[in-house]
Structure 1
């Protein structure tokens, strides 16, 4: 009987805790995922994204794509979802991202897999958890990198008395240099870009640094939808699913996956940025506060910078700072207080580059 119990325990995993990680550790994540048009349809049903290039094969082919590419954030969610069982299954929170670059387009039928390297560790002062810093690369079936990013996660300790590692916090770039962006875009012929079908006549030149855009619409999070979305990405973090456990935790309920908020904000941004059809990269993103089912998410964006892309006359880059805010419309642009803290209701603060036709 005892041997049988031991054998059963050996065949299951509970995920890594803070003390299980080591600097320089290389992790190959299960399971490769072939992304299909079915995944795209469900992603659209969950977030309502309307960007024309990702919605229409005919539109995409007319400007130089072989077919409509997979939405950038669906690629991100699949790649990060692979990492969760090894890195953040026992996480308290996903804290942020940096040096986040899309490297190649992904199309229906492509298979994505992820690997990560631990680049930093720092125990928290309460001795019950610590921050784990990793760099993750997503590759397609040919082994070509399609996405690379760093992120840091607060992870529980299994044993509060376990010795702390030497604290190492990686030096991550505050922003991505614009001249390094654009590789994930094929050569495009935008002479036939149909602005009426795309939903807006506004091009790269129509936006000004300092301009603020209220995306107007709101989207309420449903309990079933945020869990369905998280399962779609094969993200196994129990804080999103297990009410039996989370009901006894500090919030008394399941947390919404942070990427769900990112996707809602991106979808809402169509109203005002309809031609920002590709995310070039993220300079950084912070999940400022938790979100729960029943919250209604609004969003607004500020244009932080504009840049030409080397060797490209077809598209230009806008650097945006998008705030997602819960249960508060954004006509007054809620963001940062005078003391540097976030205003009430802000749940996401995201700094990123997008491409628009010139």
Structure 2
């Protein structure tokens, strides 16, 4: 009998099942340096200790997506080791900021199951929670993933499709305690634009493009200890290509969004997200954003922008065709709240 973890297949899941994921991960400054080298984000709050201290942080917070990827990576051996594709996200909230030296662990609950019509795969909905240093909540989100069946003849479960909120209410956004943007240095931040300078419906072209390569995305995926076969093993997909981890596209698009959104310093929530089409090495991606909503927070000087971040191989502003489906060039459609000075 093999001792190797073969991962869960679709028929192994039950609604209500709770999984405590293995291998807690302590994050250090080296993770920050690796993230910087992979994506090149320029947001001042995560780049400068002096900038962070002026805004009320005793220690600079790690980039929010480092937290996301670390929590996500813990779940892969139990949720998506046998995945065909990660499909989307919802109801994501960042609940406290993570600093260098914090140890992250994850747990997940299966909240929905639906077998696909081909009988070979099914969709699994899972709510994942990340904790720092034992029991401090740092992240809570839902994702859904297409998972292979071990046995195509295994009976299908009764379908359960969870009803998710379309957005995280602005009143529920976490603003770090003690955050004080009265001394915000717009020159150091690199852009002058405040909360009031953005209008709902505005489209922002982030201009730059990045050509994807296999070594970079595999290095990034290893960094998060994401062991999904489709990202590494060319025999895991019929087309013989390594599928680029969707989180790699999220981080690349977020880094590109600095052009035009350089003061959107903190991600507060992920309302919804879809990996619209697969990305492969050799694809050149660009990013654009749409301002979907604006909200004030209870913290003086801190506003929230609800943004649609789109990663695409095509042109800015193009999202769906006349049939309502995503255009084939669109890779990511991410709806999130960001905190920005007023």
Question: What is the match of residue 220 of structure 1?
Answer: 211
Question: What is the match of residue 235 of structure 1?
Answer: 226
Q: Relative to 1, partners in 2 of residues 1:14 and 1:142: Cα closer, same or farther, differing over 3 Å?
A: closer
Describe the SS at the equivalent of 1:45: helix
2:331 equivalent to 1:347: yes
Q: Relative to 1, partners in 2 of residues 1:233 and 1:188: Cα closer, same or farther, differing over 3 Å?
A: same
Please say if residues 128 and 142 of structure 2, whose CA atoms lie closer than 8 Å, have aligned partners that are also in contact.
yes
Question: What is the match of residue 148 of structure 2?
Answer: 156
Question: What is the match of residue 3 of structure 1?
Answer: none
Describe the SS at the equivalent of 2:23: coil
Instruction: List gaps (5 residues or longer) in structure 2.
Output: none
Which aligned runs of 4 or more in structure 1 are off by greater than 3 angstroms? none
Alignment of 1:270-285 (within 5 A): 270-285=258-273
Please say if residues 92 and 156 of structure 1, whose CA atoms lie closer than 8 Å, have aligned partners that are also in contact.
yes
CA apart distance, 1:68: 1.1
Question: What is the match of residue 95 of structure 2?
Answer: 103
The structure 2 residue matched to 1:77, chosen from 69, 91, 94, is 69
Please say if residues 58 and 67 of structure 1, whose CA atoms lie closer than 8 Å, have aligned partners that are also in contact.
no
The structure 2 residue matched to 1:197, chosen from 188, 196, 201, is 188
Describe the SS at the equivalent of 1:81: helix
Please say if residues 216 and 329 of structure 1, whose CA atoms lie closer than 8 Å, have aligned partners that are also in contact.
no
Pick the structure with greater CA Rg: 1
2:283 equivalent to 1:288: no
Q: Distance in 2 between matches of 1:118 and 1:142?
A: 22
Alignment of 1:238-317 (within 5 A): 238-243=229-234, 245-246=235-236, 249-309=237-297, 311-317=298-304
Please say if residues 188 and 314 of structure 1, whose CA atoms lie closer than 8 Å, have aligned partners that are also in contact.
no
Q: Distance in 2 between matches of 1:233 and 1:137?
A: 16
CA apart distance, 1:250: 2.8
CA apart distance, 1:158: 0.1
Q: Distance in 1 between matches of 2:40 and 2:90?
A: 26
Q: Distance in 2 between matches of 1:338 and 1:313?
A: 43
Describe the SS at the equivalent of 2:110: strand
Q: Output the TM-score relative to the length of structure 1.
A: 0.94
Instruction: List gaps (5 residues or longer) in structure 1.
Output: 1-5
Question: What is the match of residue 131 of structure 1?
Answer: 123
CA apart distance, 1:98: 0.4
CA apart distance, 1:162: 0.3
Please say if residues 281 and 354 of structure 1, whose CA atoms lie closer than 8 Å, have aligned partners that are also in contact.
yes
Q: Distance in 1 between matches of 2:166 and 2:258?
A: 26
Aligned residues: 342
Describe the SS at the equivalent of 1:271: helix
Question: What is the match of residue 16 of structure 1?
Answer: 8
Q: Distance in 1 between matches of 2:307 and 2:241?
A: 32
Q: Distance in 1 between matches of 2:37 and 2:215?
A: 13
Deviations 1:254-295 (A, max 9, x none): 100000000011000000000000001011000000000111
Alignment of 1:166-181 (within 5 A): 166-181=158-173
Q: Distance in 1 between matches of 2:136 and 2:55?
A: 24
Describe the SS at the equivalent of 2:220: helix
Deviations 1:104-162 (A, max 9, x none): 01000000000000001110000001001100000001411000000000000000000
The structure 2 residue matched to 1:51, chosen from 43, 55, 59, is 43
